[in-house]
Amino acid sequence: MSTGRVLRNATLTVLALLWLVPTWLLVVNALVPAESYSGSPHWLPDGFGLLDNMSEAWDRASLGPALGNSLLYSVVSAAAAAVTAAFAAFATVVMPVRRQALWFWVVYSGTLLPLQVFIRPLFLSYAQTSLYDTQTGLVLVYTAIAVPFAFFVLRNYALTMEREIVEAARMDGASWWRLFWQIHVPLTRSAMVAVFVFQFVAVWNDLMFGITMVTSRNIRPVMAALADLQGNYSNVGPPVVLAGALLVSLPTVVLFFSAQRFFVSSLRIHR
């Protein structure tokens, strides 16, 4: 084995271990029974109180309704963003639209600014239109912020598709609508699933909009509920908070591994 390969493997191993350290600490300290927690982090398992800690977090922070809210926001927003981005990618790559590069930058520019700059105008506009503290308002926000990145991925994927497919379909009399649903969508399905997974995880993990655009406990997403657990119920102890964090992260882990083959296939160049 060459020296370069050895160094590369060693570097990747060290980076993987560094990445796993926070996860290891999360799991180990979530296992510690809350009543026996000493106040300092545990590096090795000491007892098994995970289920009790999860149950405590579930009850104290009302994680059940919050999980349902986040599931609604993540699924609807990610799906709407994927479909909207697919339409935009189809229009700017397949259809004979003028100034395609300009339209690309118009849509993609939504990722160039930090999300914090949108908080004040969103708050003011939502307060005037009665969208503040509503599920509809959060869905609209999450969909809007998810579209630019989804468009970037789907457009680049569409650029690798053969133009002959479109030309043949048009010569056979296929309309743009039929071409989109029967040819473009099936060919970009793996990329759309990958985009859905990316945006689902991003919406699920969002805290900023969940605490600034919502005040009601029955509307807040799960990350806002978890933050409330740590802030308003700090007497429960770190093991309960960590167990709650581990619990709310399970849906994203399950989704990622369930859609892994679509995620991997979308990274390959379409031929």
The predicted model scores a pTM of 0.83
pLDDT higher than 80, residue 22: yes
Domains of the chain: 64-266 (1.10.3720.10)
**Nearest Cα residue to 146 out of 108, 104, 190, 95:** 108
In this structure, the number of other CB atoms found within 10 A of the CB of residue 106 comes to 13
Per-residue pLDDT for 233 more than 50?
Answer: no
Percent of the chain predicted with pLDDT > 90? 16
Decide which of 240 and 142 is more confident.
142
CA 58, 62, 65, 66 dihedral sign is: negative
Q: What is the pLDDT of residues 128-139, one digit of tens each?
A: 888 898 999 999
Lowest mean pLDDT among 24-33, 162-171, 175-184, 240-249: 162-171
One-letter amino acid for residue 172 of the chain: D
Average pLDDT over residues 176-186: 82
Q: Quote the pLDDT of residue 232.
A: 52
Distance, CA of 232 to CA of 205 (rounded, Å) = 20
Joined together, the tokens standing for residue 265 give: 């296939």
| Spatial distance between the Cα atoms of 81 and 58, rounded to a whole number of angstroms | 30
